[in-house]
Structure 1
């Protein structure tokens, strides 16, 4: 009897939540607004990424609203972007996504940053059958979770990223002793890039892997593995770590007098906070990239200028994939001519258009690949140094010393 009552209450509660969610979505329409949501790392270790994404998402929404909004039927609606801080915590990302869907009644979601956060939100959106579009999530880590139906990602593929330094070495015929040391965190992308892709690229390129170390994502002391890389005579150091760890590691390399000829620091060396924290120590550090205002994509140059003018910071590639992800979602809502999640999702799948990051067309696995470039920090700016046809600066090689 008690079990039967609980089942009835549970069913009633489920129906009530569904009705409430529908009412919230309807309220957004009645108020001449369409709500879309985003859970972003505005605090915590990935706040540097979240700030760029916030600007990209907000700018895309502001632009469409300035143009009149989105027309559904005979009515023109303004778009309301609801952002919640996930504090760089996957559990909070999941909770925020649930809240944005059930309480805020969003028509669609925009993703967070890095596999741990994007995938956490995508799994909730998938369960709730609400479309989610994101950048900032390497494609292999996204594909590895499941066969997606409602989540879509436009970004680079880890295999392209891992092979890029070796292709650059070959293209420029750079001379090293071919000894490579890998230092990567044990997060999702660190395991893929540092544990699988880089070792394969080392072997394929005819290089010698003299050291391979993994560390927790919250580690702060790297002196032992740095000393080992130095003792092994590694001319090439490949690092995958989030910004605080990458910054600490670069400082500890200098303290240990370890000066590889080529230093790649994936993930952690992307945001401007890396260069600001390190000053001259950032010069010469390489990081995989996919966008620069100089690339021949529609609106690229203008977007970079707008960000630097408004934020008074050096532009980051993350303003581009976030701006494009928002545009893809907004275009899909317009194409669907409806707030129905299924119709919006189907429209996303039909995307075939050039955006600020280049052509976007989703494959059957819900990914759209952005070609990889190699960036290098030079005097506080990220300069594209490879491939040669996209380079807007000259490669610093070998890695400069700070003194």
Structure 2
């Protein structure tokens, strides 16, 4: 009897092993049919507000292509799998994530993170591995300054354009000021580029006087002394470049210090909805450089904005557009290549010449495709386009409220 039981148990065990092996082989075959692309994003840490929008944009583009059966490779449709890893707003983690996406997740191509520090960290790892990456959310001057890219491509605005935009707006709308400016910027790559170089140059060319120019570490939390300098200078215009947590802190501390300029730009940190949510009425009147709104005459713009608000219950962000477009460019390139070969995909990206949700995308020799700049102003929790005049969606507040 014991022998019969042992024999039955042995048979069951062998049957279990066979079934498990079959399932594993089936899973492997299923997984190999998918085209894996990867992204390392700031889903936590100071830039989580940006990363959440990017994830939505990337996932929406992948969902759309998969709804149509996937990407066509040699006449056969293959579904796309997007693997996202959290870089925690840390460049070192971004580099590690990209390595993992390539070596463990078997990604054939990549989508970028956000801000120069993170995009550059991931991009350099992609270059080393010779794997194509398409990114938004990386200002082009900072992107160009790193190296001559071979495998990484950026679709975004250019810092000189963003720096000139406030002065063009002030002149075109004839906003009266004493033409005195206080500049406060972080010491990160884009903060240094815009606040330390491009704003001063644009101000001088437009005939404005810089009376205060201060920089601060990217983890700074107290800004009282520089805000008092700005107040004492009597500047009507204050230009700030900082990430969102700092921008929120600066705006609150401005109110405490009694610093109420006629014109307030808070570049970078004032972009996501989290800025307006954290500040309430204090966000009203704050302006920030922009490049997309659902009202812009690009293919799918309105539908994308409506879709995000319907699915998320939150106000749209321009970052859903550059991330959605970056993913579309990459997916189109994979299909155009008709292959998952890295060099073939990279060559197809280089040949991109098409209008997407952010407008026309065509890469220059330096691997950049520029999005035209606009300006939005927070009004009652909504980003209202106030410049250029042909694209406005509301009337500008003449002074911060």
TM-score by length of structure 2 reads 0.92
Q: Give the distance between the partners of 2:72 and 2:209, measured in 1 at CA.
A: 58
Q: Give the distance between the partners of 2:71 and 2:230, measured in 1 at CA.
A: 55
Q: Give the distance between the partners of 1:189 and 1:225, measured in 2 at CA.
A: 20
Q: Is 1:287 the equivalent of 2:288?
A: yes
**Cα deviation, residue 36, structure 1:** 0.2
- Equivalent positions of 1:2-401 (< 5 A) are 31-400=32-401
**Cα deviation, residue 31, structure 1:** 3.1
**Cα deviation, residue 76, structure 1:** 1.1
**Cα deviation, residue 348, structure 1:** 0.1
Q: Give the distance between the partners of 1:76 and 1:393, measured in 2 at CA.
A: 45
Could you tell me whether the CA contact under 8 Å between 1:28 and 1:34 is conserved in 2? no
Q: How far does the alpha carbon of each residue in 1:325-349 deviate from its partner, in whole angstroms, 9 at most, with x for none? A: 0000000000000000000000000
Contiguous gaps of at least 5 residues in structure 1:
1-26
Q: Give the distance between the partners of 1:273 and 1:75, measured in 2 at CA.
A: 43
SS in 1 for 2:391: coil
**Cα deviation, residue 74, structure 1:** 3.3
SS in 1 for 2:167: helix
Q: Give the distance between the partners of 2:176 and 2:113, measured in 1 at CA.
A: 39
Q: Give the distance between the partners of 2:73 and 2:115, measured in 1 at CA.
A: 33
| C-alpha spacing 1:173/1:127, structure 2 compared with 1 (3 Å) | same
**Cα deviation, residue 30, structure 1:** 6.3
Q: How far does the alpha carbon of each residue in 1:185-218 deviate from its partner, in whole angstroms, 9 at most, with x for none? A: 0000000000000001111111110000000000
Q: Give the distance between the partners of 2:108 and 2:40, measured in 1 at CA.
A: 14
RMSD of the TM alignment (CA)? 0.9
Q: Give the distance between the partners of 1:211 and 1:217, measured in 2 at CA.
A: 19
Q: Give the distance between the partners of 2:29 and 2:230, measured in 1 at CA.
A: 57
TM-score by length of structure 1 reads 0.92
Q: Give the distance between the partners of 1:257 and 1:195, measured in 2 at CA.
A: 25
Q: Give the distance between the partners of 1:228 and 1:29, measured in 2 at CA.
A: 63
Could you tell me whether the CA contact under 8 Å between 1:139 and 1:367 is conserved in 2? yes
Q: Give the distance between the partners of 2:81 and 2:29, measured in 1 at CA.
A: 9
Greater CA deviation, 390-399 or 341-350?
390-399
Q: Give the distance between the partners of 1:32 and 1:393, measured in 2 at CA.
A: 49
**Cα deviation, residue 34, structure 1:** 0.3
The corresponding residue for 2:5 is: none
**Cα deviation, residue 32, structure 1:** 1.7
The corresponding residue for 1:8 is: none
Q: Give the distance between the partners of 2:61 and 2:31, measured in 1 at CA.
A: 23
Kindly tell me the number of residue pairs found equivalent between the two proteins.
374
Q: Give the distance between the partners of 2:29 and 2:280, measured in 1 at CA.
A: 47
Which protein is bigger by CA-based radius of gyration?
2
**Cα deviation, residue 28, structure 1:** 7.8
